[in-house]
């Protein structure tokens, strides 16, 4: 069978499976729609949590980020996984016992304030839409490459699929769909990683790939050198900073960035809700352990996929002699990915060879793809789009200028083709990437609909709403959320990357302190919590807005902290302000203090108490 037939088969079968599960497990009540009826087994919930957690960012983008920024990329791995550990062990079991399955619900009840609840709803919707727009765009890109449709059509197809199992099935349908999606995405990620590691090093275990030596059969010049040493040497020759030392000139910033990712991640609402789908508090803890195990399977493979993928890319494009490869002789994968716009080439020196090094390959930007806009020798013509690296070209250090634009997202998606793996593996990766994006998109859309129907309407605006009307409102909100997410997927704002950084900063500066203090401090009152959230949000938002949108320069950074790292400062300010204000204002009501004490008592290992 051809690659196209295999891809349609794999993706089509996976879609049929997801929709079939959604119909089979269709939600019939608000409890089933919001928390799957609270009857999911810990192991199944752990698998669903892992799928919910590992979005298109983890599957498609993470290895690409690490691949191109080297050591600095470790902040993403430590921040995202560390944030989950914080959430799973420090927060989730207590939130589960508190009995409130959304962050706004917890904030509103714990701080006995509809104002606090409304602020939390707004933050939840903002953060969730930021993520879901990226997921929908990721689905569009995967469809564009593998199913030969436009990115816009890919987004529309993704909207239709998510509509079926998110709107019909609710959390019950999503949970069992995500179990299937985890199996698909983890198999799709690890199989190519095993093949790639074997091809470059001769070892079959990706987790050991970084310390393994390069196989002489892969590259006779690099043969016998450890992967990291070989990669360091190659990228330095091409004018890049050594792979293992990138970013080490500002470890303080890396530390703050990691903490911001951890705290922001621990405050993400779509993962917190997963701990309410199991019957007991004890099951929440057990499912957290399962989820960590399932997440570790992918995250321990990422560093190897990143480093070996970069090594393979350089070796393939520049050739064994390092002097470039004639465009006419480039492998099919290079030209296939040109069509998606994730790779582009400009023949700077007119020798007909593709040559990859440091520096921007285009003046201004990457071209939009146009099949008719080819020069006679076949290379891509320049128009406009996005820039590559801006490092200065040093003719004495580099044998040639850079002629290739490489999008970071290509590393995982193109790996099977770069490594010349069988077509069924390539089709499997397409199905896995779509599964990763759709699983998180569904979870986020459900959080948005829950926040609107449960926290805004039921708890604030129309408290006498019947269960039937609440379920109807939740489904209606999910439909609207899918349409809005689809719009952002079809018309992504030019500042999506900046908004993602802002979302993490806001989550770290707002939700995380409010949840931690709500669980562990009986003295924390509504005045302290609201003041802390407002200060954290405003300061973080102003800092990021100034440097991302108003022309601030790195020379003006506070203590050298980038906007992505500043969420940690906002979080610290939140804690400090909340503590000072709460100590100067009356303590919470006695019943609230008793609730806070109760949720930390060990006897909560039994059935959860509702308050």
Question: What's the confidence (pLDDT) of residue 172?
Answer: 64
pLDDT tens, residue by residue, 335-346: 778 776 778 888
The radius of gyration of the chain from alpha carbons, rounded to an integer in Å, stands at 25
Q: Which residue has the higher pLDDT, 21 or 543?
A: 543
Q: How confident is the model at residue 165 (pLDDT cuts 50, 70, 90)?
A: low
pLDDT band at 394 (very low <50, low <70, confident <90, very high): very low
Q: Indicate whether 575 pLDDT > 90.
A: yes
pLDDT at position 379 is: 34
Predicted pLDDT of residue 34: 55
For 81-129, the pLDDT digits (tens) are: 888 888 777 887 787 777 766 778 888 888 988 888 888 888 777 777 7
**Which CATH number fits the domain that encloses residue 62?**
1.20.1730.10
In a domain, 408, yes or no: no
Computed from CA positions of residues 88, 93, 98, 100, in that sequence, does the dihedral angle turn out positive or negative? positive
Residue recorded with tokens 């804690």: 575
DSSP state of 391: P
98 located within any domain: yes
pLDDT at 169: 57
pLDDT digits (tens, 9 = 90+) for 347-359: 777 778 888 888 7
pTM: 0.78
What is the domain extent for residue 167?
Answer: 3-307+423-605
Supply the pLDDT for residue 159: 82
pLDDT at 373: 34
Place of tokens 């806001």: 506
pLDDT of residue 608: 46
Please indicate, yes or no, if residue 156 is contained in any of the structural domains. yes
Q: 161-175, 442-456, 547-561: which has the minimum mean pLDDT?
A: 161-175
**Does pLDDT of 375 surpass 50?**
no
**pLDDT tens figures, 417-450:** 877 788 888 888 888 887 777 777 777 777 777 7
pLDDT, tens digit, 9 for 90 and up, residues 481-504: 888 888 877 776 544 455 666 677
Averaged pLDDT, 207-224: 82
Looking at the chain, the whole-number percentage of residues with pLDDT higher than 90 is 6
In a domain, 415, yes or no: no
Assign 220 a pLDDT band (cuts: 50, 70, 90). Answer: confident
DSSP letter string, 74-113: HHHHHHHHHHHHIIIIIIHHHHHHHT--SHHHHHHHHTT-
* Domain membership flag for residue 457: yes
CA gap 566, 578 in Å, rounded:
18
Taking CB atoms within 8 Å and a gap of at least 24, the contacts of 465-472 are 467/29, 467/30, 470/30, 471/27, 471/29, 471/30, 471/33
The answer to the question of residue 401 being in a domain is no
Instruction: Answer yes or no: is 318 within a domain.
Output: no
Taking residues 208-231, report their average pLDDT: 83
Any domain includes 167: yes
Q: Write the Ramachandran bin of 224: left for phi over 0, alpha for psi from -120 to 50, otherwise beta.
A: left
- Residue 43's pLDDT is 87
209: pLDDT strictly greater than 90 = no
Of 120-129, 293-302, 454-463, highest mean pLDDT: 293-302
Q: Which residues contact 143 (CB under 8 A, 6 or more apart)?
A: 149, 151, 153, 154, 157, 158, 434
Q: What is the mean pLDDT of residues 213-235?
A: 83
Q: Average the pLDDT over each of 95-109, 259-273, 367-381 and give the range with the smallest value.
A: 367-381
Structural domains in the chain (count) = 1
**What whole-number percentage of the chain has pLDDT above 70?**
84
Encode 517-530: b = buried (16+ Cβ within 10 Å), e = exposed: bbbebeebbbbbbb
Write out the DSSP string of 167-184. IITHHHHHHHHHHHHHHH
- Closest alpha carbon to 306 in 433, 426, 182, 408: 408
Report pLDDT for 167: 65
């Amino acid at each position: 069978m051809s690659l196209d037939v295999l891809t349609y088969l794999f993706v089509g079968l996976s879609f049929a499976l997801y929709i079939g599960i959604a119909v089979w497990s269709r939600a019939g009540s608000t409890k089933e729609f919001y928390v799957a009826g609270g009857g999911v087994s810990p192991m199944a919930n752990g698998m669903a949590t892992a799928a919910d957690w590992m979005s298109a960012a983890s599957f498609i983008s993470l290895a690409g980020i690490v691949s191109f920024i080297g050591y600095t990329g470790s902040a993403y791995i430590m921040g995202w996984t560390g944030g989950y550990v914080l959430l799973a062990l420090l927060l989730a079991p207590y939130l589960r016992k508190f009995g409130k399955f959304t962050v706004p619900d917890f904030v509103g009840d714990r701080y006995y304030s509809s104002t606090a609840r409304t602020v939390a709803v707004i933050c939840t919707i903002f953060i969730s839409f930021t993520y879901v727009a990226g997921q929908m765009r990721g689905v569009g890109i995967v469809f564009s490459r593998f199913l030969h449709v436009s990115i816009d059509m890919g987004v529309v197809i993704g909207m239709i699929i998510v509509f079926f199992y998110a709107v019909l099935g609710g959390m019950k349908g999503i949970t069992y769909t995500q179990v299937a999606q985890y199996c698909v995405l983890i198999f799709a990620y690890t199989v190519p990683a095993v093949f790639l590691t074997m091809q470059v090093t001769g070892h079959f275990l990706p987790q050991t790939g970084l310390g393994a030596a390069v196989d002489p059969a892969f590259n006779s010049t690099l043969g016998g050198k450890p992967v990291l040493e070989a990669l360091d040497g190659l990228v330095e020759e091409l004018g890049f900073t050594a792979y293992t030392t990138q970013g080490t000139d500002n470890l303080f910033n890396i530390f703050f960035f990691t903490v911001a990712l951890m705290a922001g991640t621990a405050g993400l609402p779509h993962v917190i809700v997963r701990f309410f789908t199991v019957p007991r508090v004890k099951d929440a803890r057990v499912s957290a352990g399962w989820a960590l195990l399932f997440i570790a399977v992918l995250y321990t493979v990422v560093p190897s996929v990143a480093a070996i993928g970069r090594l393979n890319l350089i070796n393939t494009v520049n050739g064994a002699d390092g002097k470039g490869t004639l465009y006419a002789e480039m492998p099919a994968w290079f030209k296939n990915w040109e069509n998606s716009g994730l790779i582009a080439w400009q023949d700077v020196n007119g020798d007909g060879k593709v040559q990859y090094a440091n520096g921007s390959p285009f003046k201004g930007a990457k071209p939009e793809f146009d099949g008719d806009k080819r020069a006679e020798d076949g290379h891509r013509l320049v128009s406009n789009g996005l820039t590559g690296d801006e490092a200065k070209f040093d003719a004495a250090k580099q044998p040639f200028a850079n002629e290739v634009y490489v999008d970071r997202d290509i590393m995982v998606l193109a790996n099977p083709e770069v490594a010349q793996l069988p077509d069924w593996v390539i089709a499997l990766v397409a199905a896995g990437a779509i599964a990763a994006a759709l699983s998180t998109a569904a979870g986020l859309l459900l959080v948005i609909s829950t926040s609107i129907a449960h926290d805004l309407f039921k708890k604030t605006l129309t408290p006498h709403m019947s269960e039937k009307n609440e379920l109807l409102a939740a489904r209606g909100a999910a439909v609207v959320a899918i349409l809005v997410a689809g719009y952002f997927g079809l018309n992504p704002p030019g500042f999506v990357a900046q908004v993602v950084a802002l979302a993490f900063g806001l989550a770290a500066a707002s939700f995380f302190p409010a949840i931690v203090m709500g669980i562990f401090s009986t003295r924390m009152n509504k005045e302290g919590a609201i003041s802390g959230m407002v200060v954290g949000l405003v300061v973080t938002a102003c800092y990021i807005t100034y440097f991302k949108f108003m022309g601030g320069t790195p020379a003006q950074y506070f203590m050298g902290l980038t906007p992505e790292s500043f969420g940690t400062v906002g979080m610290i300010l939140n804690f400090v302000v909340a503590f000072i204000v709460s100590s100067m204002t009356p303590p919470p009501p006695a019943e609230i203090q008793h609730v806070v004490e109760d949720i930390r008592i060990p006897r909560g290992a039994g059935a959860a108490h509702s308050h």
